[in-house]
């Protein structure tokens, strides 16, 4: 035992140390999953190449991740595919706007709860950049950049600290 109370453990029977003595660090994975980071460049480029299909997959995956992160505090968001593919036509496009409002608020609340500086990311970010400033062309691009930055920060925090 050393001064800090550490007692060295004996290797278990049948243990063979790795060659070279190096043990690669393990990424902590909480709850059997990790959250992937997606760069703005990848999202933007692949969305252009796939005519927007990749961005739909990105939003669906991020919605699952946010539902997972906030599952102990809030009921889950409605399924992305249900909202965008089935119900958007029935509601004349209003339900997807409501869904994005809730999605962005949920992201901002989770980032604030985790102590991540997001520059006040919330539903107002969506309404200002993606709706009001869409006529200048770069508004939605700036929104997507802000969204990827905050969701990547959430992914890094979760992958390091897990749920709490």
Give pLDDT tens digits for 4-33.
555 555 555 555 555 555 444 445 545 557
Domain ranges of the chain: 38-161
Give the mean pLDDT of 100-117: 93
Distance CA 13, CA 80 (A): 50
Could you tell me the pLDDT band of residue 100, with boundaries at 50, 70 and 90? very high
pLDDT at 39 exceeding the cut of 90? yes
Sequence-distant (6+) residues with CB within 8 A of 30 are 158, 159, 162, 163
What per-residue confidence (pLDDT) applies to 8? Answer: 53
**C-beta separation of 158 from 35 below 8 A:** yes
How far apart, in whole angstroms, are the C-alpha atoms of residue 123 and residue 107? 9
**E-state strands within 28-110:** none
Distance CA 112, CA 62 (A): 17
pLDDT band at 37; cut points 50, 70, 90: very high
Which residue is listed with tokens 């997606």? Answer: 38
Q: What percent of the chain has pLDDT over 90?
A: 59
């Amino acid at each position: 035992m050393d001064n800090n109370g550490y007692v060295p453990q004996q290797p278990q029977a049948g243990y063979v140390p790795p060659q070279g003595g190096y043990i690669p660090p393990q990424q902590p994975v909480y709850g059997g999953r990790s959250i992937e980071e997606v760069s703005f460049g990848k999202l933007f480029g692949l969305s252009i190449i796939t005519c927007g299909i990749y961005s739909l997959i990105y939003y669906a995956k991020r919605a699952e991740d946010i539902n997972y992160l906030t599952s102990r505090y809030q009921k889950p968001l409605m399924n992305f595919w249900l909202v965008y593919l089935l119900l958007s036509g029935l509601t004349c496009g209003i339900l997807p706007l409501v869904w994005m409002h809730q999605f962005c608020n949920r992201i901002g609340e989770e980032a604030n709860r985790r102590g991540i500086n997001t520059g006040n990311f919330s539903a107002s970010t969506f309404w200002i950049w993606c709706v009001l400033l869409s006529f200048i062309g770069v508004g939605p691009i700036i929104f997507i950049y802000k969204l990827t930055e905050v969701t990547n920060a959430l992914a890094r925090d979760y992958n390091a600290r897990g749920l709490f």
